[in-house]
Amino acid sequence: MNDFKFSGHDTFHCRHLWLKKGYDFINSGNKFSQDDAVVILGVGKNMVSAINFWMRAFGIIDKEGLLTELAKYLLDDKGKDPYIEDEATLWLLHYQLVTLNISSSYNLIFNELRREKIEFTKDNFRIFILRKGNELNISNLNSNTIDTDFEVMSKMYIRTDAHSKDKEDTFSGILTELDVIQVEKREYNKKMETFYAILNNERSEIPDEILFYAMLDFGRFDKSISLSSVEYEDNNIGRV
């Protein structure tokens, strides 16, 4: 990796219905760049840009803006889970988000930061990213952009009290149901601090088919798959 990306979402986390909305938009022959995209999608201009970004980040469209085979398999009206009601789909989307690495925070947090720190704060994340950038001679990193991206990430995975009171969960992040990231607020250095942790819990609820798909997608094997690789290699299921 010779660059990081912490922007593109215009500070909007991906809402639950955005991927289906975006899929239908593209499937009908539209483009995010067209003038009437805001009217067709029924959202503001910045949200149009954000939906486009998340469509790429989750692998629903490719870099040319075309729908992927996975998108058609899942989100077509006759697809397996067009309205993303099955938790297995959320695990698959989580895998895509981390491993495609269109948005750098997710790949770095799940593959690297969690190895360094059992729990971490937003400050820990920023310091970690700036250090990584220095090691890789990436000089265009902005602390405010990194902080904003971390806040977007937290909204994607963590349900707030406001979301819990919203019966339709209109504004909750698409991956909150997975309960992947734990949060605890406590006093640290004489001030209240928010700590985040990705626990190595048993995840028996993840369907075997999703795990198998991810191992095959990882692809670094011949006639057998190393258990050590599955558990410990970056972007394999033990990490993600």
pLDDT at 1: 54
Q: What is the DSSP letter of 75?
A: H
Interval 63-110: pLDDT, tens: 999 999 999 999 999 999 999 999 999 999 999 999 999 999 999 999
Handedness of CA 65, 55, 27, 45 (dihedral sign): negative
* pLDDT tens, N- to C-terminus, the chain (240 residues): 568 999 999 999 999 999 999 999 999 999 999 999 999 999 999 999 999 999 999 999 999 999 999 999 999 999 999 999 999 999 999 999 999 999 999 999 999 999 999 999 999 999 999 999 999 999 889 999 999 999 999 999 998 755 444 544 457 899 999 999 999 999 888 889 999 999 888 899 999 999 999 999 998 778 888 899 999 999 999 999
Residue 100 CB-density burial (10 A; 0-12 exposed, 13-18 middle, 19+ buried): middle
Residue 173 and residue 13 in contact, taking contact as beta carbons nearer than 8 Å: yes
Nearest-angstrom CA–CA distance, 19 and 1: 27
